[in-house]
């Protein structure tokens, strides 16, 4: 892992933010990643694994199902071990492997549904399957058996017998033995379902000591933006386009190099709260019903809540989460007015609208330059967006348009690689 004295944030805060975001996809699987991480941590303790392996295991557990992008995929995973399980594991590994600090994590995730099969599960397609993948597997299969609505302690016997019956076929024998040693401890199970649970991983793993530089946060959030966008082909390039347009507008506004990178990070994450919005609403082509629009209005609130706890993200949170606020106070969800909206937040609002109306969607072409100018100038007139940012955009239109387009095209290319896995 990477340690530096000059850092911007830390890896753990960012991973937990993504875990919480992915778990917003459905109430039925809420806390799944935290539960699996907690169980995996207890296996690692029991087996006295070295600290680096414990860190890798817990980070892998917190992100293990990020390759399951739609709600249906997620629900399938909490039921029986699905036939398609390997697909989401491969997608998750592929998405994460682009971040150098995650090379081990990606490998653990890649094989988190491989059965032990009397030792054949040591390998998969010629590649070595780490014991950490097998720990993740058994932790995942234990977590899915927990019924949050019934008394947890009354469920221990059934879960113990179920895991025992799959010793050597599905699970590595020494992991089943380790589980049998720890499973009668009531506190293990009570911790697992304790609410409000954010993370039950104790500080002794020193995960917060894994610091990230600003450049590393840019790279990591680019991966997160793919997880946010690739849920639907309708939005597969949106965050990439917003991030590129916002960064360029920031540069033209005289922001420092570091501030421009922060703007890119905010663009990458501005719609992270959209993971809480059902896919059928995100993909609806007709006009939204009022009740559906009420649901949409929650998304930038969730962006705010998800980003706020990240240390070092005080300014980025505002730039990202205020992208639907309007200078006249008619935006959402905070109804902020001009005096509370910084230049960075104003830039993000313009970058988001500009990107949304000019990008092509599978069901429509992006707006023409003239129409875009007309729509935005109307918004300046009614006091929604900043007139100076609007002028900046108009004066550099071709440049910003091309930057946005290139970045969207790259994202679409990556999207087709991922979905063809
Ligand atoms: Fe999985
Ligand atoms: Fe899972
Ligand atoms: Fe949005």
Where along the chain do its domains lie? 9-211, 214-419
Q: Cα of 364 to ligand 2 centre, how many Å?
A: 36
Q: Cα of 21 to ligand 2 centre, how many Å?
A: 15
The pLDDT tens digits for 208-256 are 999 999 999 999 999 999 988 888 777 778 999 999 999 999 999 999 9
Among all bound ligands, the one having the nearest atom to the CA of 323 is 3
Mean pLDDT for 368-397 is: 98
Cα–Cα distance measured from residue 214 to residue 261, given in angstroms and rounded to the nearest whole number: 7
Q: Cα of 33 to ligand 2 centre, how many Å?
A: 7
Mean pLDDT for 159-172 is: 98
Mean pLDDT for 124-130 is: 95
Q: Cα of 128 to ligand 3 centre, how many Å?
A: 42
Q: Cα of 343 to ligand 1 centre, how many Å?
A: 42
Residue 166: count of CB within 10 angstroms of its CB: 14
Among all bound ligands, the one having the nearest atom to the CA of 35 is 2
Which residues, 6+ apart, have CB-to-CB distance to 61 below 8 Å?
33, 36, 37, 39, 40, 41, 136, 139
| pLDDT at site 248 | 98
Does the fold of domain 214-419 match that of domain 9-211? yes
Among all bound ligands, the one having the nearest atom to the CA of 32 is 2
DSSP string over 87-100: HHHHHHHHHHHTSG
Q: Cα of 401 to ligand 3 centre, how many Å?
A: 19
Which CATH superfamily does the domain covering 9-211 fall into? Hypothetical protein af1432 (1.10.3210.10)
Dig out the tokens for 312 from the structure. Answer: 């070092």
Q: Which string of b and e fits 342-372 if b means at least 16 CB within 10 Å?
A: ebbbbbbbbbbbbbeebbebeeeebbeeeeb
| pLDDT at site 4 | 41
Which residues, 6+ apart, have CB-to-CB distance to 94 below 8 Å?
67, 106, 417, 418, 421
As a whole-number percent, the residues of the chain with pLDDT over 90 amount to 76
Q: Cα of 39 to ligand 1 centre, how many Å?
A: 15
Beta bridge partners of 171: 167
Q: Cα of 32 to ligand 1 centre, how many Å?
A: 10
**How would residue 73 be classed by pLDDT, with cut points 50, 70 and 90?**
low
**How would residue 283 be classed by pLDDT, with cut points 50, 70 and 90?**
confident
Rounded to whole angstroms, what are the CA distances from 253 to 250, 283, 372? Answer: 5, 34, 21
> Chain-wide mean pLDDT for the chain?
91
Residue 267 has pLDDT above 50, yes or no: yes
Mean pLDDT for 298-308 is: 97
Is residue 66 within 8 A of residue 32, CB to CB? The reply is: no
Mean pLDDT for 18-28 is: 84
Residue 197 has pLDDT above 70, yes or no: no
Residue 355 has pLDDT above 80, yes or no: yes
Among all bound ligands, the one having the nearest atom to the CA of 36 is 2
Nearest to 418, CA basis, from 88, 114, 126? 88
Mean pLDDT for 73-99 is: 73
| pLDDT at site 28 | 67
Among all bound ligands, the one having the nearest atom to the CA of 269 is 3
Q: Cα of 298 to ligand 3 centre, how many Å?
A: 10
Residue 50: count of CB within 10 angstroms of its CB: 9
| CATH for 214-419, options being 3.10.129.10, 3.40.1400.10, 3.40.50.1370, 1.10.3210.10 | 1.10.3210.10
Mean pLDDT for 280-309 is: 93
Of 31-35, 253-257, 269-273, give the lowest mean pLDDT range.
31-35
Residue 263 has pLDDT above 50, yes or no: yes
């Amino acid at each position: 892992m990477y340690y530096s004295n000059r850092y911007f944030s830390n890896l753990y805060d960012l991973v937990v933010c993504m875990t919480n975001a992915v778990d917003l996809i459905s109430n039925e699987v809420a806390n799944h990643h935290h539960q699996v991480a907690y169980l995996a941590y207890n296996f690692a303790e029991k087996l006295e694994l070295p600290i680096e392996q414990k860190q890798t295991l817990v980070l892998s557990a917190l992100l293990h199902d990020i390759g399951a992008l739609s709600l249906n995929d997620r629900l399938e995973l909490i039921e029986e071990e699905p036939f398609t399980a390997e697909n989401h594991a491969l997608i998750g590994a592929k998405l994460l492997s682009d971040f150098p600090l995650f090379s081990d994590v990606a490998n653990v995730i890649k094989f988190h549904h491989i059965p032990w099969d009397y030792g054949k599960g040591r390998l998969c397609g010629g590649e070595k399957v780490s014991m950490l993948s097998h720990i993740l597997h058994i932790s995942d299969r234990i977590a899915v058996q927990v019924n949050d609505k019934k008394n947890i302690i009354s469920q221990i016997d059934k879960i113990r017998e179920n895991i025992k019956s799959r010793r050597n076929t599905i699970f590595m024998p020494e992991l089943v033995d380790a589980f049998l040693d720890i499973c009668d401890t009531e506190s293990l199970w009570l911790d697992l379902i304790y609410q409000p649970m954010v993370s039950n991983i104790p500080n002794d793993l020193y995960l917060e000591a894994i610091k990230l530089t600003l450049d590393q946060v840019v790279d990591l959030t680019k991966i997160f933006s793919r997880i946010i966008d690739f849920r639907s082909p309708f939005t597969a390039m949106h965050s990439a386009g917003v991030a590129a347009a916002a960064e360029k507008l920031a540069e033209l506004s005289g922001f420092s190099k570091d501030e421009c990178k922060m703007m890119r990070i905010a663009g990458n994450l501005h719609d992270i709260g959209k993971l809480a919005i059902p896919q059928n609403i995100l993909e609806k082509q007709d006009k939204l019903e009022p009740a559906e629009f009420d649901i949409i209005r929650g998304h930038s609130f969730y962006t705010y809540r998800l980003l706020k706890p990240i240390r070092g993200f005080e300014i980025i949170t505002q730039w990202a989460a205020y992208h639907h606020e309007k200078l006249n106070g008619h935006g959402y969800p905070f109804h902020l007015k001009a005096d509370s909206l910084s230049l960075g937040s104003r830039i993000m609002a313009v970058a988001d609208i500009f990107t949304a109306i000019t990008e092509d969607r599978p069901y429509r072409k992006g707006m023409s330059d003239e129409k875009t100018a007309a729509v935005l100038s109307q918004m300046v007139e009614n006091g929604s967006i900043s007139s100076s940012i609007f002028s900046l955009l108009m004066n550099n239109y071709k440049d910003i348009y091309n930057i946005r387009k290139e970045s969207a095209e790259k994202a679409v290319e990556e999207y087709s690689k991922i979905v063809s896995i």
